[in-house]
């Protein structure tokens, strides 16, 4: 298909292109200017690069001089307290060389950064933008305007974003009348005879704050509503609108929005969308889109780019255990770009191409391919970013004529994200611009056919991150992947699984003791908190006689189980994990119905259960190998662990599978036999363990399931002299009661009981005055209101440093207003019902207290049916308030205004608890202080404070939050065992066999 | 001095020698015989070698066929249950090839091993011995007889040993009359004209069961008393006696015995002693001995050997941290042998030489050196072992004429130790015989001058075990060396230090709070339990106000101490350890006087304190490095530990420095501040910590010393809401009280208290029916009665399998009778006073109970003054007896007769405690079962159950013995800390810095 000598022509054109711009340097790399000097320094010094871009990111927040001075020192002071010379550049020429004080540096730096930003942004105001756009057009460049915006965290911001577009369009409407069309056409209304003069680019997620992949339809309609308003205005003035492509998670939503909008206005063809060549799915998406356009006879326009979120996509995928959606080899992206450009050009009747690249090879390829395919000139154009790669744009103007500059417009604060991305892009090792202009790489290499590059490096697959595993050993632990709602299959699986589970509601669940189902007369129904009339299951209740029976079963099973090799015990866990993996959607569905947990969180609960089993299996194999102690000859000392005996596992309802499974599997794999008492609110999910371990083939008596009322058998279980170990997760009150009761040695008891207790939290997130609110607002919302705030890790206090308090609270409250409330089975709902009527009552009492102690900023409406409580944000709270001290376990967030960061830390620590916490700050020093002084078990910096992952964030707190045992961490299993040492004197008759490990 | 062409002559003579015996093989390596086959198999297969020699060792105990069958299977069954063919050798020729059943193998093997033993032992009875000796003399060999004996563990055995000699001498006296003198002399009374016909060799420690290096004078006189009786009989019949040299620890004692005996009978010159060339001290010892002989004009005789305890000496030294007393290079020993032989030959006027070597080079060297020095023939002779190296002895007989065979005589059971040593020697890689006759090494190499060998291998030093240390890092942890009483300086240091301490008795000891001495009005004297009138010190007592004051001091010091880097905190410990090392004898002396601890154990208590500090310092540096968790990009997860806060350390009196120091230093190095309450019986030793940490410069308030009465301030301290952690070692009753009290969260308390409790024990030693009683008896005695049985690790039950019960108890009781009782300051005393009057009363009550429940086998006398109780052994105890269940903490040992090993294990586990235990068995299967089923914290196989060393035997038990925390082990410090995790989202604006440890 591809013309055989096409590549030669592409390379020849590329060479010509390079020659035509020889000697020119993009201003970014011009070392006569500050920005060029900084870029140069960044490319030489990776640490400085990180610091510099982080500094640029926070810079617009540093309005006070003191703040700026401090940050300069923190970011660049380093060990020798020497500010790098490049940052002072310009101070000298201003005549201040002799006495560079903080103020001078501040001024110089502020000036330089603003100038740098100005280079990439067409204007901060409409007037400024219009002036610059007019000037660009005079030079022969078309434009596409993009309104810079903060991340849209609430609907008011979405509205504001849309409003800005509408205003801009009004201004452009007037301005375009004065603009002569660009050369090449005879229609004075259209540039080059075919292109609207007004061209805007819009980010879909900026139009709607609640877009979430799992809520596909809701996201599409939410975005479409606003986007349509902009587009109607664009149509009215005869303009062009392109829908930008953001991160991969919104790709399918965006494509769907595009199709619907295109269909809605079939007669206005000037609607485009962006495709990113670096996505592995783009070949498929492009084919589908072209097919769709052809079928529906709706010509479309595609801006083809390489993609600007490579780091983000890679990191996000690896953090979540997903396949990396982007090519990890740059040449693969380059090859895809050429392949996809060709595909569009081949379909030029139904699709217009905007070639969005600065890469001379890619540009030349598009040019020659278009010539080769005899594509009319009005079916393709070239786009480059404003402020970058000036020689390329000049060259393109000369050669192609049809060149459009992508011009961001707006305030500097929201513009910084854009700026940082551009800077990073251009200073990355693989940047074409860096290689072309800063490093003067060999032109032949720069112009090489990317397919040829791939053949040369022999890259078949595209997964360089995965190495071969040691055969025979377990592969390294990896967290089970999070739900990936970009996959239609996963989205569809949820309603299906819920429907399946619903058919099985109302069954009776017996106890499980000594390998037998045991029915008892006393049964209690478990119900759906979103619809109390819906009975999930009828659950048999254990009383002391059943506890005794289970103890006997466990005691009988214990000797053989203790003797089972660690690897064998681990194998049962791995089998149970495999069973859970098989049933993951069904197990999630039970949680959605029995306890009102949202899709992704229900799924995460199951993956966490799997993680616990996979991790503890490996941990036990690690800890199960006796340690040789010392190196003296003639003796053999081995340190190893033994199980404590019979473990009572008492688990909560909020992570009904994960926490149960974590405690149970830790107890089991270490060789203990288990009596498992699930929460009375989630006994059916708890019964899932009977099923999973049943599928794994666990020997009878090793695991016993004894749901029962705490009042009827809780103390009996805890005080039983045969219980060796109690693993508990739940409230502080119950936990401390267990600790105290277990400490008394009962008659007939021949050991000190071990209690592993994970209890409550009163967790705070600190918002420093330089926090990135685009991230802080949604993360606080998720931390505070995810699963209705019913997590021991949930944020219940947000401590905001005075300087940023009002701005933060304003955005937060508005964002909270946008959250939908209703049954968890509908993925549109952010918030569901709380666990039961008791919780509902308790939280409502706290709402009354909150109203008295503080000022209610927002309290939502709730559905009539079900155990709902309003999502509430209360301000004006200080440490002495009950709302600041007591664990509420519901969707009530206290906002505390702290004088400064010191006070914020002090307040954060000022409760009886020490479980989780977070800090949003861009001050290196404050982050460092928080590490040391914000004394909680799990501290998170610049992220939410929930969702600790097994192994990566071993979980648990100190003070009255727990016994410092840290689930999912390297020390956890040790608490379930006692160490023993056997020392053998290997010397007999004066003779000792030589030791293998002798030093 | 050395004749330059002497070496050439030595080599020439060696070559001649080899030629003269060419083609001959010692029966040991003759593969036509069973022993040769076995030796061949051993040399090819090191594992088999170990098993074979261990089997030979236990063999004589296997009198029952069932026992023998089982042991054969256990030792040689291996994985494939196939008995190696070599062991069945002889069965085939007996016509049983088709159906080799257990009985046949038993018979064949028994026959073969007995035959093998017979080859090395001159006879089992006097008659047999005389017959064989006569035959040897007929062949032209002189002899020296050595009576084989079990290790002498009691005085009756010593007496028996001496009696055997006296009987033997009587028989020899008669026999020698019938023996013609060996050729070479004209005196028919003497062999070769100058040597007595009767020649015996005697082991000094066999003559006296209580020889101990620290009791030098007592050991010398104890040995001398019996040895003199033998020697007088030797003189009476005109014989020769040689005093054997055993292990290094008895060397100086033996040399002193030799000198005194020689001096006592100046007119009978026929007394010899053995020197071992492998000892580094032998050059010095020899010179001294020759000087002494010359000065006193007392001619002597020396048998020079290489030395037969090389493995033992090396292992023992390395286990105790002593310099290895033997050369580790074989060539050094060979060179020393030649050097020392020459030295003796140069002094032949005053010293006769017996050359005891099978090494042809060494023999040739002696011959040529003697010729070179013109030494008369009657001043030297050659000795070889009976049954070995027959070609060498034949060659020597031809060349030198004067050759004497060393002939062991006695029963097979005690002979096995000798046999095993010989077999090991001959199959070791460096064995000259192995190389000469089994491997046919190059003769030139075998005859090379050892000095030349050393020059060739360039071995300057002789410490191949010590490598260079990493600079800048702490060297690997090594236990502080044990007291080495072979060093006269160490022996002398004790009385000196005791005298020094005695001058400082009676001082007043204030509290130490917040860096200040604090005197209180209430003072209690601490006294010497061996002499209650002697006041060690007047100790100020803390009450609740002082506890509060110390809490405040600790609270104030805590923040800075917590922030101190782990390495800095560790450095304080190392300084304190260095200070303790400086004062080690003085600190030992305080223990000898304040609590009645014996020299070596007082010293061990101080070394253990040093070990704790050195080990925990390193452990903290290890644990102080945050762990990176997971490998996901874009996040940085660090897992690290923080101190719990204020620790109360409540310590016992029995290891008054070690345990205190262990708990305190663990608490300190992990960053906690400490309130230290020493035992009321050892507050002065406890005050040593104030001094040591003072010398280390610990900041004020970090460590506080608050001695006080438990009744006055114990509960107050434990229940204080500011106490975060309690480290306790002591009785079960107090421990459980603390556990219970600490579990209740007090008003104002914001954490769950951690309790680390090491409590009591009721420790058992199992004596299996194949146990090596030579080792079991003294190890049980030390375990039960060391420091008066006042160790939580002490043995209080010895469970003896029926088949060996009577034999064991008989030897044990007799051995106990030999133990001396009196003040610990006299090193002759094995047992001292118990801690105080209360302990004395309590133990005496148990003695009454013991008399009722069982049968008193032995109960010693005690001194009138001081808190003594009789050392008591009670038999007939079964598990239901109180004596079998309750911790007595005194010198009372219960003997329990178990039906079999199963019951022994069952009984061993049948108490509330699970601290230490030991098993003496030579059954691999029983040892393996004990590993699994004898469920105590510290199990010891074939050794005593006390004296756990830091790192090598992390110490502590389960059940009601403790909380499973294991002091001195890799998990201990974790209990003093809480883990924390800080997770930083390192991605900003979609960009994450690459991680150093990215996978």
- Rounded CA-CA distance B444/A561 in Å is 63
Q: How confident is the model at residue B468 (pLDDT cuts 50, 70, 90)?
A: very low
Please spell the DSSP secondary structure of A755-799, one letter per residue.
Answer: EEEE----EEEEE-TT--HHHHHHHHHHHHHGGGG-STT-EEEEE
- The minimum CA-CA distance between B50 and chain A, rounded to whole Å, is 7
What are the φ and ψ backbone dihedral angles of B786, each rounded to 5 degrees? -55, 135
pLDDT tens digits, one per residue of B430-467? 888 888 887 777 889 999 999 999 998 875 555 444 44
In the numeric block, which tokens belong to residue A23?
């000697």
Per-residue pLDDT, B98:
38
**Separation of alpha carbons A589 and A501, rounded Å:** 7
| CA atoms within 13 A of residue A584's CA, in its CB half-sphere | 22
Confirm or reject contact between B979 and chain A (CB < 8 A). Answer: yes
Q: Which residues 6+ apart lie within 8 Å of B278 measured at CB?
A: B306, B307, B310, B313, B326, B327, B333, B336
Q: What is the pLDDT of residue B186?
A: 63
Say how far apart CA A364 and CA A15 lie, in whole Å: 9
B990/A53 touch (CB, cutoff 8 Å), yes or no: no
Which residue out of B157, B390, B546, B758 is catalytically annotated? B758
pLDDT tens for A596-641 read: 999 999 999 999 999 999 999 999 999 999 999 998 999 999 999 9
pLDDT of the residue at B387: 86
* Cα-based torsion angle of the residue sequence A191, A194, A200, A205 in order, rounded to the nearest 10 degrees: -160
- B627 contacts in chain A (CB < 8 Å): 970
The C-alpha atoms of residue B887 and residue B768 are separated, in whole angstroms, by 24
Q: Sort residue A767 into left (φ over 0), alpha (ψ -120 to 50) or beta.
A: beta
Q: Residue range B350-374: average pLDDT?
A: 96
Letter string b/e over residues B435-456, b meaning 16 or more CB atoms within 10 A of that residue's CB: bbbbeeeebeebbbbbbebbee
Nearest CA in chain A to B981: A938
Alpha carbon distance B922, B59 (integer Å) = 10
* Segment B232-251, tens digit of pLDDT: 999 999 999 999 999 999 99
Q: Which of B978, B993, B996, B997 to mutate to test the interface with A (most CBs of A within 10 A)?
A: B978
User: In A, residues 33-62, which contact B (CB 8 Å cutoff)?
Assistant: 46, 50, 53-54, 57
What's the pLDDT at B586?
A: 98
Task: Provide, as residue numbers in chain A, all residues whose Cβ is less than 8 Å from the Cβ of B941.
Answer: 982-985
| Local confidence band at B61 (pLDDT 50, 70, 90 cut-offs) | confident
For A738, the closest chain B residue by CA position comes to B743
B559 touches chain A (CB under 8 A): no
A-proximal residues of B, 909-928, CB under 8 Å? 912, 922, 927
B981 — contact with chain A (CB < 8 Å)?
Answer: yes
- Write down the pLDDT at residue B79: 54
Distance between B970 CA and the closest CA of chain A, angstroms: 9
Closest Cβ opposite residue B990 in set A312, A966, A999: A312
Q: Which of B927, B960, B989 sits opposite A417 (nearest CB)?
A: B989
- pTM summary value: 0.94
Are the Cβ atoms of A633 and B424 closer than 8 angstroms? Answer: no
Closest of B715, B719, B720, B706 to residue B520, by C-alpha: B706
Instruction: State the DSSP code for A988.
Output: B
Place of tokens 């390596």: B29
Q: Which residue has the higher pLDDT, B229 or B990?
A: B229
Cα nearest neighbour of A721 on chain B:
B959
Beta bridge partners of B918: B765, B940
Residue B242 annotated to the active site: no
User: What pLDDT is recorded for position A107?
Assistant: 85
d(Cα B378, Cα B184) in Å, to the nearest integer? 10
Cβ neighbours of B949 in A, within 8 Å: 630
Which pLDDT belongs to residue B187? 65
| Residue B751 near chain A (CB below 8 Å) | yes
Which of A537, A539, A540 shows the shortest CA–CA distance to A501? Answer: A537
What's the average model confidence in pLDDT over A867-875?
A: 98
DSSP H or E run through A979 = strand A977-985
Tell me the two tokens of residue A208. Answer: 């709607």
Higher pLDDT, A175 or A467: A175
Bridge partners (DSSP) of residue A279 are A326
First to last CA, chain A: 68
* Residue pLDDT, tens place only, B537-566: 999 999 999 999 999 999 999 999 999 999
Residue keyed to tokens 């013991």: B850
Whether A163 and chain B come into contact, CB under 8 Å, resolves to no
Q: What is the model's pLDDT at position B82?
A: 57
- Report pLDDT for A468: 40
What is the arithmetic mean of pLDDT over A130-143?
A: 94
The per-residue pLDDT for B14 is: 93
- Chain A nearest C-alpha distance from B999 (Å): 8
Model pLDDT for residues A196-244, shown as the tens digit of each residue: 999 999 999 999 999 999 999 999 999 999 999 999 999 999 999 999 9
Q: Which residues pair with A608 in a beta bridge?
A: none
CA atoms within 13 A on the CB side of A644: 30
Mean pLDDT of A850-854: 97
pLDDT of residue A99: 39
A892 strand-pairing partners: A872
Q: Does pLDDT of A488 surpass 90?
A: yes
How would you classify the pairing of strands A199-202 and A142-147? parallel
Percent of chain A with pLDDT over 70: 95
pLDDT at A997: 35
Using 50, 70 and 90 to split pLDDT, how confident is the model at B472?
Answer: low
CA distance A914 to B979: 12
Say if B943 is an interface residue toward chain A (CB within 8 Å): yes
Per-residue pLDDT averaged across A657-679, rounded?
Answer: 98
| pLDDT score, position B465 | 44
Please state the rounded mean pLDDT for residues B842-847.
Answer: 98
8 Å CB contact of B312 and A991: yes
Kindly provide the b/e burial profile for residues A678-689, where b requires at least 16 CB atoms within 10 angstroms of the residue's own CB.
bbbbbbbbbbbb
Locate the DSSP E strands across A605-744. Answer: 627-628, 635-643, 646-650, 673-677, 703-705, 723-729
In tens, the pLDDT along B770-820 reads 999 999 999 999 999 999 999 999 999 999 999 999 999 999 999 999 999
Check CB contact of A315 with chain B, cutoff 8 Å. Answer: yes
Tens digits of per-residue pLDDT, B256-280? 999 999 999 999 999 999 999 999 9
**pLDDT value at position A751?**
96
* Alpha-carbon gap, residue B723 to B703, rounded angstroms: 14
Pair of tokens at residue B381 = 């002779």
Residue to test with chain B: of A982, A992, A996, A999, most B Cβ within 10 A:
A982
According to DSSP, the residues that pair with A940 across neighbouring strands are: A918, B983
Beta bridge partners of B705: B512, B676
User: Over 60: is that where the pLDDT of A116 sits?
Assistant: yes
pLDDT for A39: 84
Q: How many angstroms separate the CA atoms of B609 and B620, rounded?
A: 16
Which has the closest alpha carbon to A623: A973, A214, A223?
Answer: A973
Asked if residues B761 and B887 have their Cβ atoms less than 8 Å apart, the reply is: yes
Cβ distance B920 to B766 under 8 Å? Answer: yes
pLDDT tens for A281-333 read: 999 999 999 999 999 999 999 999 999 899 899 999 999 999 999 999 999 99
Rounded Cα distance, B724 and A664, in Å: 28
Q: Is B277 an 8 Å CB contact of chain A?
A: no
* pLDDT score recorded for residue B432: 80
With the CA atoms of A408, A409, A412 and A415 taken in that order, what torsion angle do they form, in degrees rounded to the nearest 10?
A: -30
- Active-site annotation holds for B758: yes
Express each pLDDT in B828-841 by its tens digit: 999 999 999 999 99
Q: Are strands A635-643 and A977-985 parallel, antiparallel or unpaired?
A: antiparallel
Q: What is the pLDDT of residue A998?
A: 35
What sign does the CA torsion over B503, B506, B512, B516 have?
Answer: negative
Burial of B747 (C-beta count, 10 Å sphere; 0-12/13-18/19+): exposed
pLDDT of residue A533: 96
CB A36 within 8 A of CB A27: yes
Which residues of A are designated catalytic?
Answer: 758, 792
Interval A771-800: pLDDT, tens = 999 999 999 999 999 999 999 999 999 999
Q: What is the pLDDT of residues B814-824, one digit of tens each?
A: 999 999 999 99
**Tens digits of per-residue pLDDT, A345-395?**
999 999 999 999 999 999 999 999 999 999 999 999 999 999 888 888 988
3-class secondary structure, A381: strand
- pLDDT above 90 (res B331): yes
Choice among A85-94, A906-915, B344-353, B835-844 with the minimum mean pLDDT: A85-94
Of A942, A963, A971, the CB nearest to B984: A942
CA distance linking residue B767 with residue B780, whole number of Å? 9
Q: Please give the Cα distance from B980 to A934 (Å, whole number).
A: 11
| pLDDT of B95 | 47
Q: Which residues of B touch A413 (CB under 8 A)?
A: none
How many C-beta atoms lie closer than 10 Å to residue B947's C-beta? Answer: 18
pLDDT tens digits along B43-52:
888 888 888 8
């Amino acid at each position: 298909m591809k013309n055989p000598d096409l590549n030669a022509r592409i390379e020849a054109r590329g060479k010509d292109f390079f020659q035509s711009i020889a000697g020119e340097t993009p201003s970014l790399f011009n070392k006569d200017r500050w920005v060029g000097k900084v870029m140069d320094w960044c490319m030489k010094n990776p640490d400085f690069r990180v610091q510099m871009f982080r500094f640029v990111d926070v810079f617009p927040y540093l309005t006070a001089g003191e703040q700026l001075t401090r940050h300069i020192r923190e970011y660049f002071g380093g060990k020798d307290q020497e500010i790098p010379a490049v940052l002072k550049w310009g101070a000298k020429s201003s005549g201040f060389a002799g006495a560079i004080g903080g103020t001078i540096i501040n001024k110089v730096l502020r000036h330089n950064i603003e100038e740098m930003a100005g280079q990439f942004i067409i204007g901060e105001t409409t007037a400024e933008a219009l002036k610059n756009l007019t000037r660009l057009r005079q030079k022969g460049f078309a434009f596409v305007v993009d309104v810079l915006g903060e991340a849209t965290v609430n609907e008011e911001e979405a509205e504001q974003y849309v409003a800005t577009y509408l205003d801009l369009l009004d201004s452009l409407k007037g301005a375009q009348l004065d603009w002569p069309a660009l050369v090449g056409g005879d229609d004075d209304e259209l540039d080059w005879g075919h292109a609207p003069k007004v061209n805007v680019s819009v980010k879909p997620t900026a139009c709607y704050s609640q877009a979430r992949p799992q809520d596909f339809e809701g996201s599409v309609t939410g975005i479409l509503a606003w986007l349509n308003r902009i587009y109607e205005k664009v149509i009215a003035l005869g303009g062009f609108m392109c829908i930008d492509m953001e991160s991969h998670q919104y790709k399918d939503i965006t494509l769907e929005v595009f199709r619907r909008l295109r269909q809605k206005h079939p007669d206005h063809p000037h609607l485009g969308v962006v495709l990113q060549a670096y996505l592995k799915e783009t070949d498929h998406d492009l084919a589908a889109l072209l097919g769709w356009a052809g079928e529906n006879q709706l010509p479309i326009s595609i801006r083809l780019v390489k993609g600007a979120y490579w780091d983000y996509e890679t990191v996000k995928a690896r953090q979540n255990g997903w396949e990396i959606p982007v090519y990890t080899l740059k040449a693969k992206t380059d090859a895809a770009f050429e392949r996809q450009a060709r595909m569009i050009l081949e379909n030029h009747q139904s699709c217009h191409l905007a070639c969005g690249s600065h890469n001379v090879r890619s540009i030349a390829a598009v040019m020659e391919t278009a010539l080769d395919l005899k594509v009319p000139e009005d079916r393709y154009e070239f786009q480059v970013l404003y402020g970058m790669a000036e020689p390329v744009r000049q060259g393109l103007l000369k050669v192609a004529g049809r060149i459009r500059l992508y011009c961001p417009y707006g305030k500097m604060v929201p513009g910084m994200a854009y700026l940082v991305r551009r800077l990073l892009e251009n200073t990355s090792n693989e940047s074409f611009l860096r290689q072309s202009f800063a490093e003067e790489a060999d032109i032949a290499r720069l112009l090489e056919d990317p397919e040829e590059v791939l053949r040369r490096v022999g890259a078949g697959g595209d997964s360089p991150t995965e190495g071969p595993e040691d055969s025979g050993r377990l592969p390294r632990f990896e967290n089970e992947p999070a739900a990936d709602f970009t996959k239609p299959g996963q989205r569809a699986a949820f309603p299906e699984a819920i429907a399946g589970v619903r058919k099985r509601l109302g069954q009776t669940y017996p106890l499980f003791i000594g390998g037998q189902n045991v029915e008892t007369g006393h049964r209690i129904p478990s119900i759906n908190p979103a619809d109390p009339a819906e009975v999930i299951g009828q659950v048999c209740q254990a009383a002391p006689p059943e506890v005794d029976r289970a103890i006997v079963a466990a005691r009988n099973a214990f000797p053989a189980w203790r003797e089972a090799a660690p690897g064998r015990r681990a194998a049962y866990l791995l089998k149970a994990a495999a069973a859970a993996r098989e049933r993951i959607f069904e197990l999630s569905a039970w949680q959605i119905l029995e306890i009102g947990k949202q899709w992704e969180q229900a799924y995460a609960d199951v993956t966490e259960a799997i993680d616990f089993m996979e991790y503890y299996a490996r941990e036990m194999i690690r800890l199960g190998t006796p340690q040789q102690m010392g190196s003296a000859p003639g003796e053999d000392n081995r340190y190893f662990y033994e199980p404590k005996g019979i473990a009572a596992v008492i688990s909560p309802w909020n992570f009904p599978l994960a926490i149960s499974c974590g405690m149970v599997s830790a107890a089991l794999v270490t060789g203990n036999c288990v009596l498992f008492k699930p929460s009375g609110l989630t006994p059916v999910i708890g019964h899932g363990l009977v099923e999973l371990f049943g599928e794994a083939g666990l020997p009878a008596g090793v695991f016993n399931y004894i749901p029962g009322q705490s009042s009827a058998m809780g103390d009996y279980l805890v005080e039983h002299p045969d219980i060796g170990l109690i693993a508990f997760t739940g409230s502080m009150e119950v936990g401390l009661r267990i600790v105290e009761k277990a400490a008394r040695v009962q008659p007939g008891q021949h050991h000190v009981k071990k209690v592993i207790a994970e209890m409550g939290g009163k967790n705070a997130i600190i918002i420093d005055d330089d926090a990135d609110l685009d991230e802080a607002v949604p993360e606080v919302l998720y931390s505070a209101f995810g699963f209705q705030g019913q997590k021991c890790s949930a944020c219940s206090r947000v401590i905001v440093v005075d300087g940023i308090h009002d701005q933060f609270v304003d955005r937060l409250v508005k964002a909270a207003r946008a959250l939908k409330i209703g049954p968890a089975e509908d993925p549109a709902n952010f918030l569901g019902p709380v666990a039961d009527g008791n919780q509902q009552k308790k939280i409502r009492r706290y709402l009354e207290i909150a109203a008295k102690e503080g000022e209610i900023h927002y309290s939502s409406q709730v559905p009539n049916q079900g155990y709902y409580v309003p999502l509430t944000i209360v301000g004006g709270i200080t440490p002495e308030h009950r709302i600041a001290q007591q664990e509420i376990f519901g969707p009530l967030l206290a906002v505390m205004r702290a004088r400064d960061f010191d006070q914020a830390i002090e307040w954060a620590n000022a409760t009886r608890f020490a479980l989780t916490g977070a800090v949003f700050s861009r001050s290196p020093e404050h982050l460092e202080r928080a590490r040391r002084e914000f004394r909680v078990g799990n501290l998170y910096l610049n992220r939410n404070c929930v969702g600790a992952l097994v192994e990566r964030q071993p979980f648990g707190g100190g003070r009255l939050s727990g016994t410092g045992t840290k689930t999912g961490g390297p020390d956890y299993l040790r608490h379930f065992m006692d160490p023993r040492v056997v020392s053998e004197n290997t010397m007999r008759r004066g003779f000792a066999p030589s030791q293998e490990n002798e030093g």
